[in-house]
Amino acid sequence: MEEFVGLKEPLVVINENECKGCGLCVDICPQKVLVQKSHLNRMGYHPAGYLGEGCTGCGHCFYACPEPGAIAVYRKGYVDPAKEAK
Ligand code: SF4
Ligand code: SF4
């Protein structure tokens, strides 16, 4: 049987130091799995964060975010090309 190496669940990754803490992603997420963190990032903003489960990979947060590079959304089954090459 072939080993399943892709993501088992959709995943959202927030790059905290690119986040301006605007909260748009938190508000728009239909699953309510994003929150504003209490700590400050290096620019002095409260960054968004993922609760760790429940993301469906819909991408709404990605399209709502005004900061390029702050949010990445990975669909179920995504395979990191860097890991695949090894
Ligand atoms: S991809 Fe969709 S479900 Fe996942 S965190 Fe973003 S808005 Fe929420
Ligand atoms: S929409 Fe982007 S900049 Fe705004 S809180 Fe979410 S990740 Fe940060």
Which pLDDT score is estimated for 82?
79
For 27-63, write each residue's pLDDT tens digit.
Answer: 999 999 999 999 999 999 999 999 999 999 999 999 9
Which structure tokens are listed for 62? 């990605």
- Ligand 1 centroid vs 83 CA: distance in angstroms? 24
Mean pLDDT along residues 71-78: 96
Q: What pTM did the predictor assign?
A: 0.90
- The CATH code belonging to domain 2-84 is 3.30.70.20
Cα of 28 vs centre of ligand 1, distance in Å, is 8
Mean pLDDT of the chain: 93
Q: What is the pLDDT of residue 86?
A: 56
Q: Which atom of ligand 2 is nearest to the CA of 34?
A: 6
Contact 46/39 with Cβ under 8 angstroms?
Answer: yes
- pLDDT score, position 11: 97
Nearest CA to ligand 1 atom 2: 58
Nearest to 23 by CA among 47, 41, 43: 47
Q: Where are the domains of the chain?
A: 2-84
